[in-house]
Amino acid sequence: MNKDKPSVQVIKLKPVHLEKIWGGTWLKEEFKFKTKSKNIGESWLISAHPGGDCRIANSVYKGKTLSELYSLRRDLFADDPHEKFPLLVKLIDAREDLSVQVHPNDDYALHNENDVGKSEAWIILNAQPQTRIQIGHRARSREELEKLVKAGEWNKLLAYRKCSKGEIINIPSGTIHAICAGTALIEIQQSSDLTYRLFDYDRVDKDGRKRDLHLQKSLAVIDVPHRFAKRIFMPRRKDYEALAPILKTPYFRIGSMRVFDSLFFYNLQHKYYLIAVLEGRGKIGKLSAHKGDSFILTSDAVKTKFQGQLNLIISTL
């Protein structure tokens, strides 16, 4: 704790909603977001990225952006050495198929884009019975990958499968992927918006123009061969009242926690935690918490009381 500056243990954030041509109405209906936007494709819950910098909703820093607070009070974030706030938590609702894309790793992004790379993970919140997801490819070598891409033989290259509510999907940088129509999810990712579009189904806009593709950059960063991972799902138990780990990556850890009455969360390692409320209502510290709200538990917080009926996704470095 910084003795010269006020202690702030819990930060509440205002989400940034992004209207997308492929977005739907599920997020607005499910989370009761107050926005004039019709088709919300993405709701950035915790972000200091220039594309959607969330504002603080409480404390003496109310009204400041998360990027401003991170710059002013690095001590609240465990003196994190990252130059910029490193993680981003968002909700996504796809009414239509998103383009097939891939993200670069840190090394490629730094040398070619002067930015960090992007690894991400999804937790599927809603999926229709026939909803599918595009993850990975079938090329056995880089030569085969380039041949199939240049020939446009997407049916031979791209791997699709069904997805289900409650599924956890890790998408490391270098992984070809696409969110398909009828899917809603929460995404935890590196704070980067670097996306290389590999294929867009030959769609055209109202003027008959196709969207730009990034074939050379995509081919440079795609991992070959793709390693298909075992499917994993959220814990099925409904009675746990502790932080249950669900995924660990080189960039972040994700856990799930349920609150049924009240419990104390002990931050013995003095980390900071990103919290998204998926269901329920109650309190986190002294702040009201409802479905769709987001918080940061700062490294100032040692013992925090959670109250009410809450289903939480909690992530940290």
DSSP alpha helix (H) spans, 12-86 = 26-31, 66-72
Q: What is the DSSP letter of 33?
A: -
Among the options 197, 227, 237, 281, which is catalytic? 197
197 is a catalytic site residue: yes
The beta strand positions in 86-238, using DSSP E, are 87-94, 100-102, 120-127, 132-137, 158-162, 167-171, 177-178, 183-190, 196-199, 232-233
Structural tokens at position 206: 């109202």
Run of H or E residues at 41: strand 40-46
Going 44 to 46 to 52 to 54, the CA torsion angle's sign is positive
Residues noted as catalytic: 197
